[in-house]
Amino acid sequence: MRVALLNLIGLLLLAGCQPKEVVIPDSQQQAWWKEAIVYQIYPRSFQDSNGDGVGDLQGIIDRLDYIESLGINTIWLNPIYPSPNADNGYDVSDYRGIAPEFGDMETFDRLLDELHKRGIKLIMDVVVNHSSDEHPWFIASRSDVHSPYRDYYHWWPASKGTPPYRYSLFDAQGDAWKYDSITDAYYLHYFADKQPDLNWENPALRQEVYDLMKFWAQKGVDGFRLDAFQFAAKDTAFPELPQGYEKNFIQYYAMQPGLHDYLKEMNQQVFAPYGVVSVAEGAGRSFEEAHELVDADRQELQMAYAFDGVDVAKYDGYSLATLKQVFTDWDRSFAEKGWLSIFLSNHDQARLVSRYGNDSPEFRVASIKLLNTFLLTMRGTPYVYYGDELGMTNLGMDRIEEYQDVAAVNGYAKATYNGEDLDQYMKVLAKTSRENGRTPMQWTADTLAGFTTGIPWMKINPNTAFINVQDQVADPSSPLNHFKSLTQLRKKNPVLVYGAYELLAEDHPQVYAYTRTLGEVSCLVVLNFSDKTARWAPIGLSLGEQPWINSADQLIQEGKELIVREKKGEDKRYVYYKIQA
């Protein structure tokens, strides 16, 4: 029996034959967006170039050498449009402009040009389930019931009585209808009351959206991510919904009739003519609905961005068995058709290593290496959130006064209104708030983290003193350099992009193991998700003699036994192997 001794959190075994030409099966037609490694940038927090404490486009330009050095080839940029910032840019007041705090259109054009010179593509966030209440469309819509913009939004005349209850994710009382006295009517907002929902039944509104997307496509943007778009179609009769439906609101809000018609129309007018990639936030309520969104013959979107994986981790932790099942089930469903996004973090989540790993000093480095290894060895397009290449952690704010996010502030107000235990609410918030994932990028060890010379818009995590780019660049065994090795490995080995996935050790309580196979090339990935030594016997697999990357203190292969040892107290590491054919 061949035994792999997994001393600590992260042993990775990758295996393959000697490099040879690989034939990609017809079922996995090659495309740049399948081979992309997406790096998500939250612009407000990435790099401030002018000392106002807010990250900006020039700051991104100034850091392009770093971005290129990561080995990524695509950037997803969170919204940079003018906005009142009720939801940090996800309430857009001008879809064709640049927010002054981020720069101007000339700077954006220069950023796009510099990215393309480096072979890096740009995906823009498009927020068109809703707009800002300060957008000219809404200002005109609310001003007069006869305005041509009235039907750009959803209105319920007060003369008809109180509208049927609709749940709002961000409202302080959970009510998605907001009364507006100007025309004695209620408007709909699934999110904050400053984010009124757009009426996609209106063809004039749809054409406005397609035209604004063409504006950016004509500039050379390479793709669009459609924020909250699975909620765009609505039953405008607004029938009563079952009591308590908000506990499972996705079943009633997502993928309503008409959505596919809108996406096909968008594809015909924007995606296909301009050759841009498209991905929607959310992937429906089932595998079948996900395929209806992204299968090539549907001519709608191209990448499914499903939340099941990122939602596994909760306040009180998660089950490795559940994580395995979720990713395995999604891969199995997409094995022959369609394409997935692979991610465990984004701007709406707390930090990756604090949610899915162990951010204690003893295990933080090992944890983030393991998690990035997972992301970059799965089938699907990996999305990596800024700072996760370093292992940036939660900030963990204890007082509600420290929070700016509308979800946190209004959530606290809602908890107060409902008479909840506010101490418990704050404990959960400190660990799970998405503000944890929005702290400024940690470039250096100084108190301002190299992010700004002014007062930062958000508190900088004090652990920038020992978690920062400058230190990790100089450390060959750092999470940053491990991440760079992974991106190069993925780009050089098509098996890690297109190879079939097979789960191994399904019932092992500590180990997540799987193979990736493409033609005659096969690789094995073994990850110990626990903080204890794990043993697993990879029966039937023949390990090659030389590792692709070996960062263990000792690697010993004695006959059929493989042993990896680490020095006590040092970082937990990973090993990559080739398997002999």
Question: Residue 175 corresponds to which tokens in the numbers above?
Answer: 């009510």
Any idea how long the chain is?
Answer: 581
Q: Which position among 56, 101, 193, 227 bears the catalytic label?
A: 227
Whole-number Å distance between alpha carbons of 55 and 71: 22
Whole-number Å distance between alpha carbons of 300 and 302: 7
Q: Is 281 a catalytic residue?
A: yes
Which residue in 571, 573, 538, 570 sits closest to 557, CA to CA? 538
Q: Is 506 a catalytic residue?
A: no
CB 168 within 8 A of CB 191: yes
Helix, strand counts (H, E) of the chain:
17, 20
Whole-number Å distance between alpha carbons of 565 and 549: 15
Residue 163 CA: distances (Å) to CA of 50, 122, 143, 238, 566: 47, 41, 20, 8, 64
Quickly tell me which residue has 């180990």 as its tokens: 511
Strand-pair category, 121-126 with 74-77: parallel
The C-alpha angle with vertex 433 and arms to 251 and 95, in degrees rounded to 5, equals: 70
Helices (H), 433-478: 469-473
Whole-number Å distance between alpha carbons of 452 and 260: 44
Question: Contacts for 96-105 with beta carbons within 8 Å, 24 or more apart?
Answer: 96/212, 96/215, 98/57, 101/44, 101/52, 101/54, 101/56, 102/43, 102/44, 102/54, 102/55, 102/56, 102/57, 103/56, 103/57, 103/58
- Taking the alpha carbons at both ends of the chain, their separation in whole angstroms is 19
- Quote the radius of gyration of the chain (alpha carbons, Å): 24
Phi, psi of 179 (to 5 degrees): -75, 135
Q: Which position among 56, 133, 281, 331 bears the catalytic label?
A: 281
Which residue in 501, 497, 488, 523 sits closest to 33, CA to CA? 497
Which residue in 109, 89, 111, 113 sits closest to 101, CA to CA? 89
Whole-number Å distance between alpha carbons of 410 and 407: 6
Q: CB burial class (10 A; 0-12, 13-18, 19+) of residue 89?
A: buried
Going by the DSSP 8-state scheme, the letter that residue 323 receives in this structure is: H
Whole-number Å distance between alpha carbons of 434 and 354: 12
Tell me which residues are annotated as active site: 227, 281
